[in-house]
Every structure is written in structure tokens, then in C-alpha cells.
Amino acid sequence: TTTAPAIHRGLAGVVVDTTEISTVVQETNSLTYRGYPVQDLAARRSFEEVAHLLWYGELPDAAQLHDFRARERALRPLDRTTLELLARLPETCHPMDVLRTAVSFFGAEDPTEDDGSPAANRAKSLTLLAKLPTVVAADQRRRRGLTPIPPDPSLGYAENFFHMCFGSVPDPDVVRCFEISLVLYAEHSFNASTFTARVVTSTLSDLYSAVTAAIGALKGPLHGGANEAVMHMLLEIEDPQRAETWLDEALASKRKIMGFGHRVYKNGDSRVPLMQAALDRLVARSADPEATRLATLLAALRHTMITRKGIHPNLDYPAGLAYHLMGFDTPTFTPIFVMSRITGWTAHITEQLTHNALIRPLAAYAGPARRAVPGPA
């Protein structure tokens, strides 16, 4: 008798290819982008520099950074047809649907869509890096009944996003916290949305199709949608005193607690300490008592999850509340994740094409045995 093949549900623990972009080391809870520890990059480099590192394999020198910034800023504006298209989407639709539609539209109107050469894909990657914040900001304002604020080419990537959302740039310390979150969210090896992008690319389909698919994957609450779900959880519990009983009930009903757990990190997500420190700074500088109450609730849930279940928070856990304190609407949280992860996704799309193999796994059959169709032949 043949032995049944081992099933690797969720591809857990399965190594399917090599990558030179980043590595997540479970044993040491570490993450490096092209060899640099992400904590050092987040503390000392801008998001633009990290995007350059992920795409080109090296941090930019002064001239390269100047050129990168100039090209990125020039690509930020949306043309009228795009703004009109997005304005026609239902206001009740999720902003991730708006992003998915925008990327699909960018592809539809790009004459180089089917040119998969490294140069053409680099250009599309920079276009998406530059335009996605403009889409996200316009959509948040639309949901608030406000007209879009055009991008300001005199502002850096992070400052410009605040400008387009709120018409002003906050204190540099707040912008720094936002920039730290962008660097931490940028890349994470073969996570579900990145692998989705690689599967689409492996058929030699185009970059916009791969990114549209990745946005679909990231939307799910088990993946990028968790940062939004954490905020809903905090607002549902409300009172820190209720944390333990709420958690006991949730765990008893086998609910997944959003912002906790990870497929690779089993003793804590390497990105959490830096994001938590940024959140602590935002709470300390906030005059709003709600900030302290939510931070206390966050800490109480974290303590109970670690002591009760031995399950640690992931990056989405501190990031959600941090975005709330920066003034972003909760449905904007996962779109911000997309604004950052577009760098990792497009780096992997390019890498997949350098040594492509069609991604097509097997299944162990568990259906009915072969049988004849009833009735006359």
C-alpha cells in the first residue's frame, strides 16, 4: 500500500523558494531587510530609503535618495478620471475595495501593463508607492464628506500623507512614529499577501494583477485586517476593568483575539517593541484621557493573553491604537499597511521573475472513488 502523503495545511513550515529580500528568524525573533536589522532601519532611516533598499538591495546614497524622492513626489497626483472613478464607488464600501479598484484601474490605463521587464516593473512599483497614499487620503476625506487635498511635492512621503488627510502636518514626533510603522510594515518574507503576489507573478501575469490579488489577501482579519480589528475590539471592551472577563468569554467561545499570535514568531513579534515604544510616546504626549484608558486596556489584554494563553502580540496590536491616536479613521488602518507593504510585494514580484517557476502544489484526493454516470450510455 502506498503511504498517504503528508499534508501541509496552510503551507505551515513549508519552504517553497529562496529569497534575498528579508529573513524572519523565529529562534531569535529577529527580522532583517537585505541583512539590516529592521529595528535599526526604523530608528535611523526614512521610509523612502527603506523602499530603495528593498527594491535595489542597497540603501541609497545622497544623490540616489535625491533622485528617488524627486521621482516619487512627481508621481503622487491622481488624474481626473481616477478621482471620478473612485468618487463613484459606494461610500459604504471598505477602503481596501477602493484600493483594489484603484490598482486595477492603474493597470487598465497603463500601456506598459504587460511589460514585465525589471525596468518597467520598477517604474510601476514607484508609481504605486507614490499614488496609493493619495488614494487612501482622498478616500478617508470622502467618507468624512470632504473633498480631496492634492499632494504637496515639497513634503516628504510621511508628512505629505498627513497633509493630504488633514490639511496639516503634525509634530515631528508624531510623523516619526508614523514613519517607524511604515518601515516595520514594509516587508515580511512569504506572508500570505506576498506569497499571493508571487503565485500570480509565477504565471507571468502582470504586476497590477499581482498587487490587486495581494490587497485581497491582506484585507482578511487573520492578516492585515487585524490592525483594524484590534481597534474595534478595544472600543467594544471600553473599560480596562472588563478586560479579563471579556477575554475569558472570547477565549471560551474559541474567538481569535485580534493582534495576537503569528505563524512564524512563536515567542513574540520582533517588530512589536519598537512600535510599542512609538505608541507609548504618542500616549504620553496626548492630552486626551481616552488615550491613556485605551493604552491601559491594551496593556491589560496583552498581559492576560501572555499569562493565560502564552500568546504574544504581533505588529498589528500596537499599530492599530497608534494610528487611532494619530487621528486616522479605523477603516484607514489596513490601507496604511498596503501603502507600506507595496514595497515588499513589488520587491518579491521582481525577485519571482528573476528565477521563476510556476507555483502549482498538489492535493491529496479525498473525494468519491471513480464511478459510472447513471442511465443509458
Binding interface with ligand SDX (CB under 6 A): 10, 188, 191, 222-224, 226, 256-264, 311, 314, 316
The minimum distance between CB 278 and ligand SDX, in angstroms, equals: 16
Q: How far is the CB of 284 from ligand SDX (least distance, A)?
A: 25
163, 188, 262, 312: the active-site residue: 262
Angle at 345 between CA 343 and CA 351, to 5 degrees: 105
Q: How far is the CB of 176 from ligand SDX (least distance, A)?
A: 21
Q: Roughly what angle, to the nearest 10 degrees, separates helices 62-74 and 118-143?
A: 50
Cell output for 369: 472513488
The alpha carbons of the chain give a radius of gyration, in whole angstroms, of 22
- CA dist list (Å): 91 to 140, 165, 169: 10, 17, 26
- Smaller CB separation from ligand SDX, 185 or 328: 185
How far apart are alpha carbons 341 and 181 in whole angstroms? 11
Nearer of residues 78 and 226 to ligand SDX, judged by Cβ = 226
Neighbours of 367 (CB within 10 A): 5
Judged by CB, which is closer to ligand SDX: 17, or 115? Answer: 17
Q: Which is nearer to ligand SDX, 162 or 190 (CB)?
A: 190
State the residue number with the nearest CB to ligand SDX: 261
Cβ atoms of 206 and 190 closer than 8 Å: no
Q: Least distance (Å) from ligand SDX to the CB of residue 288? A: 26
Catalytic residue among 139, 206, 316, 329: 316
**Grid coordinates belonging to 163:** 497633509
Is 316 an active-site residue?
A: yes
Type of residue found at 195: F
- Which cell numbers hold the place of 269? 513579534
Min dist. Cβ of residue 244 to ligand SDX (A): 15
Angle at 347 between CA 343 and CA 351, to 5 degrees: 170
Catalytic residues: 262, 316
